[in-house]
Structure 1
């Protein structure tokens, strides 16, 4: 079966895939999740975290795995998986954007976000004193990320969320035919409270219909419906074999 490498979004870490990995394993797949620099258990100071460093971490894991993977990025993770795929395309069999930002030439992630008609995240962002990172207040976590997740999810998140460095969202990436040649799929979350569902449609509206999927959930399907998400990923894996 397939080998998955799972990349988290802003402020999260490998911990957010703790329910998805066993769900994929139950379907016969292998799955690994990693912490990007300054996230989860990684000790890198957020002031030193960069988009290029995120991609380097993914490339290092791809090299360690030593075989082609289905590379999934959630939310912000859409940018670093794209850059990593550009750098090491021979190890990426398929890209999956899970309610994620898809790079556009000359556009940073922040530029892409500003294209959306709504900005639900912006009113909740709290900058660090040095201005190099941000967090989201506890009162906004449920509304933005976990409104349809099981009891205890917000407490789990509070214990593990980290400061999100600003730099990775402020730089654009240049991709070539190396990246463009890799097949990709998009999973839209139609009740997303962070990335407007309409903008997820915009980012994937010109993709082949068979490569676009939807889930009736919010921004964290790995908590809200890990079994359903594993089923979508299993379908993607079967379609590309």
Structure 2
């Protein structure tokens, strides 16, 4: 959350050097996307760059989608909408919703798991647009340093502090959070039938490994890979970019990219 495509700069470079076509997308209002946070009305609007990219794929072509953190919800939505275009969905220490449950339920459970004080100096902002569910939120510098970039190089922490933008979670429990609160959104025949791989990160302080395994237990058909303890934080695409890229190459090597 709050991050853009820029945080994948190391992993994308390594994937391209390995001969793969790799693209990192900004969700609406993130990174260099031109929309302001108060112009992105719904979670579907937020995820629109990913949905449009899949819709534009040539017939018969498939991709491996890689989600990180809050991006797991956008990938889940994309798989549900375009299962025939997804060779695999990889959740890298990401929020991974379960079939037959509202996506926001996973967010609610994570917040209950970590507790009220978990986000430290992170801030909510006033919502300027009454048509948007919830309030914009941004990670605080201490939270970023201690729980998100705690094993990453200090220059990447500073880069993150310069580039993060406020974002809405769209999980507020009201009638405006239509997509995130829809218990019938994720179906067994579409999202549930796709190849899904969860990549655990043992030392992640932002989505604790215990909660990662809790999400895995709720989706027993999911394959599990892992980044072992030592050197990997929540921003594993930065702190352990080489190991993550090698893992993604191995996962991609086991799928049929053309139907």
TM tier, shorter chain?
0.7 to 0.9
8 A Cα contact 1:16 1:222, kept in partner: yes
Q: Give the TM-score normalised by structure 2.
A: 0.82
- Indicate how the Cα distance of structure 1 residues 80 and 120 shifts in structure 2: closer, same or farther if over 3 A, else same: farther
Q: 5+ unaligned residues in a row in structure 2: which ranges? A: 128-133
- Indicate how the Cα distance of structure 1 residues 233 and 60 shifts in structure 2: closer, same or farther if over 3 A, else same: same
Pair member with larger Rg = 2
Distance 2:55 2:103 in 1: 28
Counterparts of residues 44-83 of structure 1 (less than 5 Å): 44-49=35-40, 50-66=42-58, 67-83=61-77
Task: Determine the structure 2 residue equivalent to 1:124.
Answer: 121
Residue 239 of structure 1: SS of its match in structure 2?
A: coil
> Does residue 165 of structure 1 match 2:162?
no
Say what the alpha-carbon RMSD is for the aligned residues: 2.1
1:27 shift after superposition:
1.9
Q: What is the aligned counterpart of 1:112 among 92, 109, 120?
A: 109
Distance 2:169 2:251 in 1: 32
Greater share of strand: 1
Task: Determine the structure 2 residue equivalent to 1:175.
Answer: 186
Task: Determine the structure 2 residue equivalent to 1:7.
Answer: none
Task: Determine the structure 1 residue equivalent to 2:32.
Answer: 41
- Indicate how the Cα distance of structure 1 residues 117 and 141 shifts in structure 2: closer, same or farther if over 3 A, else same: closer
Higher deviation after alignment, 69-78 or 46-55: 46-55
Residue 214 of structure 1: SS of its match in structure 2?
A: strand
Higher deviation after alignment, 184-193 or 56-65: 56-65
Q: Give the TM-score normalised by structure 1.
A: 0.88
1:135 shift after superposition:
1.1
8 A Cα contact 2:8 2:237, kept in partner: yes
Distance 1:21 1:126 in 2: 30
Residue 163 of structure 1: SS of its match in structure 2?
A: coil
8 A Cα contact 2:26 2:32, kept in partner: yes
